[in-house]
């Protein structure tokens, strides 16, 4: 496999990877036939990894038009199976978050929306780097299975109305291969490539509507608001082009969500929300996304806050956990090593840097550096103060949790200065900044 030959253009002209790379390198547009061919040939192994890496780099620098991005997404969907969830018996709506620090929203949101009458097929991922992954959090629950067959997935969606599991190997295999390649070739940072990667998986899973939580700020994948906004707009358009009603909320990820960052500690906090309590920001975002999902699924006149207060969301959570082999009553793992970080001065906490907290949690063992690394269920960071709260010098700001005390010093370094303290409170900006539909 060298030239990546074998394909034919519209008038029978041979297609080669080198021609596509040159076209994109020089700022040209790829044709539909070229895109269909390169995605298919790459998935089959007929285009070499180094050629796809070169093409991805050319796309990073030159971009792709909306027409190219739409076709690229469609080709990635066509590289595998597209689930048909029309027989589930209720409308299906999924949520996708671009990832953040302390972002446990999928855990309370999925059973909440199911309790309100929709079916939620939630295909989730694992954490990498400073952002956590939903599957890692769920695996803190004893017995919980995150790998389900397609038959188990659809059966549970019909019976419980909610599933949270890993995407099966048959969904968008082109993206699985290409994302792994982009990860090691510095080619993740491209709006058309990110948008097509996320949307190909979400559309292939067969949901009829999708709500996106696109994050911006220190702890987000997209630090700049403008980039997050452009990504959201591209994904909304891609969803529409494939007949999936799609709405995006742009949400602030400068501060970690809630008071817990890690795996078991985030499950614990999600249970507080499902029991009708929990931190105000986690509740606010859960309800904002639930309202969008209910709206996208055509359910009007239902207030999801009632299902939190009334216990129906908690019942749906327990059903979901049991259906996936977990024990909803099992004690969650507890860290053996703890270290408290104290305030150096008195005042009001005005900001907490989500990136620093995310890196600290990662160094404590809650996250991974390489995809194959294990994570610690018990490790993480507790935020004992949040922005807007007063603190006296010497009082606790954070608690670091780990299985192994050797992890503490580097985590302490990461979190140093993460909480800024001032004499008076600063304005706290709204969590949900914009809605794109």
Residues taking part in catalysis: 96, 175, 182, 197, 201
Mark the segment that binds ligand URA (CB under 6 A) among 166-174, 191-199, 295-303, 420-428: 191-199
Interface with ligand URA in residues 396-435 (CB under 6 A): none
Closest to ligand URA by CB, 104 or 259: 104
Closest to ligand URA by CB, 346 or 369: 369
3 state SS of 253: coil
Interface residue with ligand URA, options 46, 48, 67, 188 (CB under 6 A): 188
**Separation of alpha carbons 144 and 124, rounded Å:** 14
Chain centroid, CA 78 distance in Å: 23
Q: Which residue has the tokens 């199976």?
A: 81
Please, what is the minimum distance in Å from the beta carbon of residue 15 to ligand URA?
25
How many residues line the site for ligand URA (CB under 6 A)? 6
Q: How many CB atoms lie within 10 A of CB 43?
A: 21
3 state SS of 326: coil
Q: Among 231, 295, 200, 190, which residue's Cα sits nearest to residue 434?
A: 231
Please, what is the minimum distance in Å from the beta carbon of residue 191 to ligand URA?
10
**Separation of alpha carbons 82 and 305, rounded Å:** 33
**Separation of alpha carbons 233 and 237, rounded Å:** 6
Interface with ligand URA in residues 255-284 (CB under 6 A): none
Mark the segment that binds ligand URA (CB under 6 A) among 133-141, 154-162, 163-171, 188-196: 188-196
Q: By rule CB under 6 A, what string of x and - marks binding of each residue 167-186 to ligand URA?
A: ------------x-------
Closest to ligand URA by CB, 197 or 251: 197
Interface residue with ligand URA, options 39, 198, 248, 316 (CB under 6 A): 198
Closest to ligand URA by CB, 96 or 245: 96
What are 77's two structure tokens? 């969907």
Q: By rule CB under 6 A, what string of x and - marks binding of each residue 125-164 to ligand URA?
A: ----------------------------------------
Residues 6 or more apart in contact with residue 303 via CB below 8 angstroms: none
**What residue number has its CB nearest to ligand URA?**
197
Of the CA atoms within 13 Å of residue 56, those in its CB half-sphere come to: 28
What are 38's two structure tokens? 């390169």
Please, what is the minimum distance in Å from the beta carbon of residue 308 to ligand URA?
29
Mark the segment that binds ligand URA (CB under 6 A) among 17-25, 194-202, 263-271, 315-323: 194-202
User: What's the Cα-to-Cα distance from 403 to each of 200, 340, 371, rounded to whole Å?
Assistant: 38, 15, 20
Mark the segment that binds ligand URA (CB under 6 A) among 192-200, 294-302, 352-360, 367-375: 192-200
Please, what is the minimum distance in Å from the beta carbon of residue 331 to ligand URA?
33
**Separation of alpha carbons 392 and 39, rounded Å:** 58
Mark the segment that binds ligand URA (CB under 6 A) among 1-9, 161-169, 190-198, 333-341: 190-198
By the rule CB under 6 A, 191 interacts with ligand URA: no
- Per-residue HEC secondary structure of 418-429 comes to CEEEECCCCCCC
Please, what is the minimum distance in Å from the beta carbon of residue 198 to ligand URA?
5
Of the CA atoms within 13 Å of residue 386, those in its CB half-sphere come to: 15
Please, what is the minimum distance in Å from the beta carbon of residue 117 to ligand URA?
29
**Separation of alpha carbons 56 and 79, rounded Å:** 18
Closest to ligand URA by CB, 250 or 343: 250
**Separation of alpha carbons 10 and 49, rounded Å:** 25
Q: List helix spans (H) across 79-172.
A: 106-115, 134-138, 150-159
Please, what is the minimum distance in Å from the beta carbon of residue 193 to ligand URA?
6
Q: Among 146, 184, 172, 147, which residue's Cα sits nearest to residue 369?
A: 184
Angle between helices 173-183 and 66-78 (to 10 degrees): 120
**Separation of alpha carbons 123 and 143, rounded Å:** 19
Closest to ligand URA by CB, 180 or 334: 180
Please, what is the minimum distance in Å from the beta carbon of residue 305 to ligand URA?
30
Closest to ligand URA by CB, 172 or 359: 172
**Separation of alpha carbons 198 and 196, rounded Å:** 6
Interface residue with ligand URA, options 141, 148, 194, 402 (CB under 6 A): 194
Interface residue with ligand URA, options 79, 197, 263, 324 (CB under 6 A): 197
Closest to ligand URA by CB, 35 or 198: 198
**Separation of alpha carbons 193 and 221, rounded Å:** 14
Query: Where does this chain bind ligand URA (CB under 6 A)?
Result: 179, 188, 193-194, 197-198
């Amino acid at each position: 496999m060298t030239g990546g030959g074998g394909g034919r253009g519209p008038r029978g002209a041979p297609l080669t990877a080198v021609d596509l790379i040159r076209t994109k390198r020089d700022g040209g547009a790829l044709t539909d036939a070229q895109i269909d061919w390169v995605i298919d040939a790459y998935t089959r192994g007929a285009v070499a990894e180094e050629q796809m890496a070169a093409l991805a780099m050319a796309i990073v620098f030159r971009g792709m038009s909306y027409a190219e991005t739409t076709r690229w997404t469609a080709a990635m969907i066509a590289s595998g199976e597209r689930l048909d969830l029309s027989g589930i018996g209720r409308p299906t709506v999924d949520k996708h978050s671009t990832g953040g620090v302390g972002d446990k929203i999928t855990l309370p949101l999925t059973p909440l929306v199911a309790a309100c009458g929709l079916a939620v097929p939630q295909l989730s991922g694992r954490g990498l780097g400073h952002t956590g992954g939903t599957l890692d959090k769920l695996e803190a629950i004893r017995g919980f299975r995150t790998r389900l067959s397609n038959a188990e997935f659809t059966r549970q969606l019909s019976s419980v109305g909610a599933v949270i599991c890993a995407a099966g190997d048959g969904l968008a295999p082109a993206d699985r291969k290409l994302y792994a390649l982009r990860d090691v070739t510095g080619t993740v940072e491209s709006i058309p490539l990110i948008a097509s990667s996320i949307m190909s998986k979400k559309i292939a899973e067969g949901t009829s509507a999708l709500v996106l939580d696109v994050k911006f700020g220190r702890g987000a994948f997209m630090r700049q608001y403008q980039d997050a906004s452009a990504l959201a707009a591209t994904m909304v358009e891609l969803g529409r082009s494939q007949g999936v009603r799609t709405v995006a909320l742009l949400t602030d990820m400068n501060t970690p969500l809630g008071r817990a960052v890690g795996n078991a500690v985030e499950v614990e906090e999600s249970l507080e929300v499902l029991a009708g309590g929990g931190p105000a920001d986690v509740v606010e975002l859960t309800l904002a996304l639930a309202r969008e999902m209910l709206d996208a699924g055509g359910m009007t006149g239902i207030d999801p806050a009632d299902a939190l207060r009334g216990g129906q969301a908690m019942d749906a959570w327990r059903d979901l956990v049991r259906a996936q082999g977990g024990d909803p009553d099992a004690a969650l793992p507890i860290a053996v090593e703890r270290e408290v970080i104290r305030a150096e001065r008195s005042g009001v906490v005005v900001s907490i840097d989500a990136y620093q907290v995310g890196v600290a949690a990662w160094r404590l063992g809650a996250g991974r550096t390489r995809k194959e690394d294990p994570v610690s269920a018990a490790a993480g960071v507790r935020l004992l103060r949040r922005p807007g709260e007063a603190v006296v010098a010497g009082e606790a700001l954070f608690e670091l949790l780990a299985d192994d005390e050797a992890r503490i010093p580097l985590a302490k370094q990461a979190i140093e200065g993460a909480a800024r303290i001032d004499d008076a409170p600063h304005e706290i900006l709204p969590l949900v900044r914009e809605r794109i539909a």
